[in-house]
Amino acid sequence: MAGAGAKKDPATEVAVVPGGDVKEAVAASAEVDTQAAPAEADAPPPRLRTERVDNVMGSQAGAGSSDFHIYRRHRRTEQKRQEQLDADDEKQRRDREHAERVEAKRKECEARTAKNAAKRRKKKEAKAKRDAIAKGTGGSSHAFEDDGSFMAKAKALVKEKE
């Protein structure tokens, strides 16, 4: 390792140096470059990334007069960030529930439409059958022809059965 505080992030092969010590970062970068595969020799060296340290106190003892205001500002920005995350989650949840309701209503409407279409089709087929029987063109439900001699044929059939 380059220094006591330097760490390497294995996923990105970037030297992470706490406090931003440039000499250690350069040494860590050189160490990362030497461990690179031969195929990556043409690739540019990985970018240096340092951890950001906010509000570093100097060598004086105690807090300065602006430390509370700095803390309050950081706290306020973090609270706003958390509120925004919560608002985004709530919006996603509402959008998901709305999409589920819309989908359920769409399926219900399609089922109702299919049922009504089946009823209309059935009614139309029944009407076509009635019209065909009335015209004498087919679909007859009795064994007699519709030529006006129905009663005579029915009486003859009854006599045969006796």
Q: Looking at residues 42-59, what average pLDDT do you find?
A: 70
User: Judging by DSSP bridges, how do beta strands 49-50 and 14-17 pair with one another?
Assistant: parallel
Evaluate if residue 1 carries a pLDDT over 60: no
Q: Looking at residues 37-63, what average pLDDT do you find?
A: 67
Cβ proximity of 133 and 140 under 8 Å: yes
| Sign of the CA dihedral with 5 first, then 10, 15, and 19 last | negative
Banded model confidence at residue 155, pLDDT cuts 50, 70, 90: confident
Residue 109 is predicted with a pLDDT of 97
Question: pLDDT > 90: what percent of the chain?
Answer: 33
Q: Looking at residues 11-31, what average pLDDT do you find?
A: 55
Question: pLDDT > 70: what percent of the chain?
Answer: 61
Residue 106 is predicted with a pLDDT of 97
- Whole-model pTM? 0.39
Of 151, 149, 131, 133, the C-alpha closest to 141 is: 133
The DSSP string of 63-99 is: --TTHHHHHHHHHHHHHHHHHHHHHHHHHHHHHHHHH
Token pair belonging to 139: 């679909």
Evaluate if residue 159 carries a pLDDT over 60: yes
Q: Looking at residues 37-58, what average pLDDT do you find?
A: 68
Query: Measuring CA to CA, how many Å separate 37 from each of 41, 43, 139?
Result: 7, 10, 86
Q: Looking at residues 48-57, what average pLDDT do you find?
A: 70
